[in-house]
C-alpha cells in the first residue's frame, strides 16, 4: 500500500524534516531567493501576465513541492553515502572557474552570478537530502559559496582576479589532500545478519 505524504508529518511522532535537516531546508530558501531574483532581473519591467503569475506563484510552489518530495521519499529510503574527495573538489572548483569566466567574458553579470549561486546552493541542498553527500556540511557550503563570490568580485582586474582564483584553487586542493571521510550513521532499516 502506498502512503502519500501528509502536509505536516507522517504520524503522531514522525516528521518529514528532523534534526539538522531544518538547517538544510532553511538554506534551500537562499537558493530559491537567488533564482527568484534572477528571474525578476531577467524579465525586467516589461513582462506578460503569465510570466508574472509564474514568477510570483509558480517558482515558490515548485520549490516547496521539490523540497518536500525529496525530504519525504528519500528520508528513510536510502542510507547515507559519501560523495568523496574528488567530487567535493569538483563542486568547489567548477563554480569558481565559471564565476571568474562570467566576470571576464560578460559586461552585465549580475544575472548569471545569481543563477550560479542558486544552482550551486540547490546542488548542495539536494545532495544532502538525497543522502549522497554525508561528508558535506555547513562549513563546506559556506566556504564554497564564499570562494565563488570572492573570485567573482575580484575578477574585474586581471592580476587581482588571477591571484584570488589561484588562492581559492590552492585552498580547495589543500582540502582535497587533507580529506578525511567521516563515520557514516547506521541506517535505521538495515538488518544485522545473525552470527
Residue 185 covered by a domain: no
Residue 189 covered by a domain: no
Region 130-138 average pLDDT: 83
Region 142-152 average pLDDT: 89
**Model confidence, pTM:** 0.76
**Measured between alpha carbons, how far is 93 from 172 in angstroms, rounded to an integer?**
7
pLDDT at 177: 93
Angular region, 84: left φ>0, alpha ψ -120 to 50, beta rest: left
Which residues, other chains included, contact 130 with Cβ-Cβ below 8 Å and sequence gap of 6+? 70, 74, 78
Question: Are 61 and 19 contacting, i.e. CB atoms less than 8 angstroms apart?
Answer: no
Region 4-21 average pLDDT: 54
Residue 38 covered by a domain: yes
If one counts the domains in the chain, the total is 1
Higher pLDDT pick, 130 / 1 = 130
Residue 44 covered by a domain: yes
Residue 160 covered by a domain: yes
Location of C-alpha cell 556540511: 137
Residue 76 covered by a domain: yes
Q: Which domain holds residue 166?
A: 21-177
How many Cβ atoms are within 10 Å of 22's Cβ, its own excluded? 11
**Measured between alpha carbons, how far is 156 from 106 in angstroms, rounded to an integer?**
11
Amino acid at each position: 500500500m502506498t502512503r502519500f505524504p501528509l502536509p505536516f508529518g507522517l504520524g503522531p511522532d514522525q516528521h518529514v524534516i528532523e534534526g539538522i535537516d531544518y538547517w538544510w531546508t532553511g538554506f534551500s530558501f537562499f537558493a530559491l531567493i537567488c533564482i527568484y531574483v534572477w528571474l525578476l532581473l531577467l524579465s525586467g519591467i516589461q513582462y506578460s501576465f503569465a510570466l508574472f503569475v509564474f514568477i510570483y506563484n509558480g517558482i515558490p510552489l515548485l520549490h516547496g513541492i521539490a523540497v518536500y518530495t525529496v525530504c519525504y521519499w528519500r528520508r528513510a529510503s536510502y542510507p547515507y553515502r559519501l560523495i568523496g574527495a574528488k567530487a567535493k573538489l569538483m563542486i568547489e572548483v567548477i563554480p569558481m572557474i565559471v564565476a571568474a569566466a562570467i566576470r571576464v567574458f560578460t559586461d552585465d553579470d549580475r544575472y548569471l552570478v545569481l543563477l550560479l549561486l542558486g544552482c550551486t546552493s540547490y546542488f548542495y541542498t539536494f545532495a544532502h537530502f538525497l543522502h549522497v553527500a554525508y561528508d558535506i556540511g555547513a562549513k563546506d557550503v559556506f566556504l564554497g559559496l564564499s570562494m565563488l563570490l570572492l573570485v567573482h568580485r575580484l575578477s574585474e582586474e586581471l592580476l587581482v582576479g588571477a591571484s584570488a582564483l589561484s588562492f581559492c584553487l590552492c585552498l580547495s586542493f589543500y582540502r582535497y589532500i587533507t580529506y578525511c571521510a567521516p563515520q557514516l550513521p547506521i541506517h535505521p532499516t538495515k538488518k544485522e545478519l545473525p552470527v
